[in-house]
Amino acid sequence: MGNSVIVRRLGLLAVLALCVVLLALVPHLPSYYVRVVDSILIYIILAVGLNLVVGYAGLLDLGFIAFYAVGAYAYALLASGQFDIHLPFIVILFIGAAAGAIAGVLLGFPVLKLRGDYLAIVTLSFGEIIRIAINNADDLTNGPQGIAGLDRASLFGLPLTTPVHFYWLLLVLAITVCGGVYYMERSILGKAWRALREDQDVVRGLGINTTTLKLLAFALSAAIGGAGGVIFGAFQRFVSPESFTFQESLLVVLIIIIGGVGNIVGVIAGAVVLVVLPEVLHFAAQYRLLIYGVVLVTVIVLRPGGLVSPRFNLGFIIRKVRTLWLSPSKT
Q: What is the pLDDT at residue 96?
A: 95
Q: What is the pLDDT at residue 331?
A: 43
d(CA 93, CA 75): 8
The residue-averaged pLDDT of 49-56 equals 90
Q: Is 7 a domain residue?
A: no
Q: Is 266 a domain residue?
A: no
The answer to whether residue 148 scores a pLDDT higher than 80 is yes
What is the domain range of residue 180? 36-242
d(CA 171, CA 45): 9
Q: Is 13 a domain residue?
A: no
- pTM of the predicted model as reported, rounded to 2 decimal places: 0.90
DSSP H helix total and E strand total for the chain? 14, 6
> Whole-angstrom distance between the N-terminal and C-terminal Cα of the chain?
9
Domain total in the chain: 1
d(CA 145, CA 293): 31
The residue-averaged pLDDT of 287-310 equals 80
Confidence of residue 13 (pLDDT cuts 50, 70, 90): low
d(CA 277, CA 275): 6
Cβ-contact 123, 63 below 8 angstroms: yes
Q: Is pLDDT larger for residue 46 or for residue 301?
A: 46
Q: Is 19 a domain residue?
A: no
Report phi then psi at 29, rounded to 5: -75, 165
**pLDDT tens track for 227-258:** 999 999 999 999 999 989 888 888 899 899 88
Q: Is 91 a domain residue?
A: yes
Q: Is 190 a domain residue?
A: yes
The answer to whether residue 9 scores a pLDDT higher than 90 is no
Find which of 173-187, 219-233, 273-287, 307-321 is predicted with most confidence, using mean pLDDT: 219-233
Q: Is 162 a domain residue?
A: yes
CA distances from 186 to 249, 273, 293 (A): 27, 27, 35
Q: Is 288 a domain residue?
A: no
pLDDT, mean over the chain: 86
The residue-averaged pLDDT of 296-318 equals 79
